[in-house]
A = this chain, B = another copy of it.
Amino acid sequence: MAKFIKHNCYVGIVGAGSIGVAWAVVFATRGYPVRLYEVATDRILHAKDEFLSKISELKKFGLIENDIDAIAPLLSIDTDLESITDKAIHIQECIPEIKEDKKKLFALLSELTPPDVPIASSTSFLPASTFASDVSHRERCLVIHPGNPPYLLRIAEIVPAPFTSMSVVEKSKQLMIDVQMHPIVLSHETTGFVFNRLQGALLNEAYSLVDDGIVSIEDIDLIVRDALGLRWSVLGPFETVDLNTRGGIKQHAARMGPTYEKIGAERGTNTSWGVELVDKVAAARRAKLPLEKWEERVSWRDRAMMTLIIARRKFLGQD
C-alpha cells in the first residue's frame, strides 16, 4: 500500500457539493490524500457517506484497483481553510457558480497556498480572468473543468487565463494524467470552454426544434441516445463523419457540407466548411487513419458498436 498512497502531500478541495465529492473520488482512488473544505453542517455529514458510496460502487464494477479500506481514510473534511492549503500540491475549487464568491475565495487561496501550487476552479462557464485577475498570485489560477461525473467521464478541460503561467498549466496537466483524467488543454479562454460549447450547440438546436414543433422532446432524446450518442461514444464527431462517407472527411464535406452550412444559416450562424478548414481536418484524420485502412476501421466501428449495444441491454431494459 505504501506505493499506492502519496504521503506527505495532499490535494485541497474547496466545497463538498457533488462536484467536490466527485473530485475527491478521482484523487483518492489514485492515492492522493484529500482535504475537503466545507462549513455547511449538512454537507459535511453527507459528503463522507457520498464518497464511500461512490468508491464502493466503482469497486463493485471493477473500475478501481485499490481496496476500499485503503482509499476511505484518504478523505478528511475540514472547516479551516488554512489546514487544507498548508501542504497542498493542488487546489480544486468547487463552490457554487457565483462570480463574487469565487473572487473572494481566490484572493484568499492565493495568499494561503505555497508558491507554484495550481489553484483550479471547476466552474462550467466562468473563465478564470473573470474572477482571478486581481489576486496577488494570479499566475497560479486557472480553470480545470471536468465532465459530470468526473470519476466516469475521464476528461478535464484545462483552460488557462492570459495570466496563467505555463508551468502551472504543465503541472495541472501532469496531475490530471496521474489521476487518469485525459487533459484537454485549450489554447485560450472561450465562453463555455469546449465541452459546453459542443453540448450547447446541440442543446440550442434541440430547444429550437422543440420550439419549431418538428419533433417531440422524447424523440430527440431517443435519436441521440440510440443513434448519434451511441456512435459518438465510439468515435467522436470527426471520426464519425470520416467513416460515414467512402473517401473520408473530404468526401463527407463535399456531399454534406452545403446542407450543414444551410442548417447553420437557418439559425443565423455562418460556419465555414471552406476548403482550407476541411483540408486541415482531413489531414488530421488521414494522419490517424490512411484511406487504405478505411474499410477495416468501418468494420471495427461496427464491432465496437455491437459490443456497446449488448452492454446497453443490461440497463436499457429497466428504462
Contact = CB atoms under 8 A, between A and B. Distances in A.
A152 B306 contact: yes
A268 B272 CA distance: 13
B311 A315 contact: no
Contact-residue bracket for chain A? 35 or more
Chain A interface mostly: helix
A199 interface: yes
Contact of A227 (B147, B191, B227): B147
Nearest to A152: B305
Contacts of A261: 204
Nearest to A255: B97
Interface in A116-156: 124-125, 147-149, 152-155
Contacts of A266: 191
A314 interface: yes
Contacts of A221: 235-239
A247 interface: no
Given A214-B188, A227-B153, A263 B310 contact: no
Contact of A204 (B188, B214, B234, B263): B263
B184 A223 contact: yes
A39 interface: no
Contact of A199 (B228, B277, B306): B228
Contacts of A225: 232-236, 239
Copies in the complex: 2
A308 B308 contact: yes
Contacts of A300: 315, 318
A273 to B, nearest CB: 7
Contacts of A204: 201, 260-261, 263-264, 269, 271
A200 B259 contact: yes
Contact of A124 (B230, B256, B270): B256
A231 B304 contact: no
A210 interface: yes
Interface string A88-104: 00000000010000000
27 contacts: A57-B302, A124-B256, A124-B259, A152-B230, A153-B226, A155-B227, A187-B214, A191-B262, A198-B205, A198-B223, A198-B228, A201-B204, A202-B202, A204-B263, A204-B271, A208-B271, A217-B280, A220-B236, A220-B238, A221-B235, A224-B237, A225-B232, A225-B235, A229-B236, A268-B270, A300-B315, A310-B311
* Cβ-closest 4 pairs across A and B: A221-B236, A229-B232, A311-B311, A201-B205
